[in-house]
Chain A
Amino acid sequence: MIEYFAIFMGVALFVLMIPVVYRIGAGPTPFDRMLAVNVIGTKTAVLLVIIGTLFDRVDMFVDFAIAYALLNFVSAIVVSRYLNRTISLDEMEAKENAKKIKS
């Protein structure tokens, strides 16, 4: 009973991840892609606990889930800071033009 429930939850999570993966491929902005990656990373922690339930080794797989959630959080923060600091090509050209006008 419990095992069938775990298998059902795992398969349903996997099927529902397909739209999110579509958003990674077709997202118009890089933030959309990063958001979808973040969602999938969070769901992978749940998937690890489900696998642990199936193998009767939840105590071991929970540690993997903690590590994965931490890594996911750090990657989301780092990428958002990175995307924040980058300036687009138009802004760079505008800055160079402003320098030329000054000199």
Chain B
Amino acid sequence: MSLDQTMFIPVLAESLQTTSSPTPLQFFGILLGLLGLFFFVGTAVGMIRFPDFYTRMHAAGKGDTLSTMLMLSGFGLVSMEDLSMGSWLLFFKIMGVVLFIFITCPTSSHALMRAAFEDDEMPMTEKDLKKPSAKKK
């Protein structure tokens, strides 16, 4: 390799040289992270392909909350290299973020949905599908 890819990030270059196999806990964390990525793929596809604001909110509200929680708990497990006091503290800190997102993400989704509904944004019905000239909403 003529050009060292990690030369711009010295911290990264140090950590990439030590190749250690993951512990079972870290392996479980990697599995959780990949599962969260799967749910985020669902969110991204839904945001593009759904025709209506409420269906898009369905994709974004659920998939975003669950994928964020899974990914954060996965990285909480990955960052536990040993079972020392500092690792436990870090794990509980990340779990605090997970709890916070578990409470706030559905709340903000609900507030947005409420605002849209009171602003006379009607859900898509069969009549809208039959009229091709209707404005897409």
A70 and B121 within 8 A (CB):
no
Q: How many residues of B contact A (CB 8 A)?
A: 55
Residue of A nearest to B71 (CB): A46
Query: What class of interface size applies to chain A in its complex with B?
Result: 35 or more
Of A50, A76, A77, A80, the contact of B75 (CB 8 Å cutoff): A50
CB distance from A23 to the nearest CB of B (A): 5
**In the complex, chain A residues whose CB is within 8 Å of the CB of B136:** 28
Mostly helix, strand, loop or mixed at chain A's interface?
A: helix
CB distance from A51 to the nearest CB of B (A): 11
**What residues make up the interface of A, taking CB atoms closer than 8 Å to B?**
1-6, 9, 12-13, 16-20, 22-23, 28-29, 31-32, 34-36, 38-39, 42-43, 45-46, 49-50, 52-56, 58-59, 62, 65-66, 69-70, 72-73, 76-77, 80-81, 83-84
Additional A-B contacts beyond A32-B56, A38-B60, A46-B72 (14; CB < 8 A): A2-B78, A3-B12, A6-B78, A28-B137, A35-B60, A53-B79, A59-B90, A62-B90, A62-B94, A65-B97, A66-B96, A73-B108, A77-B111, A84-B114
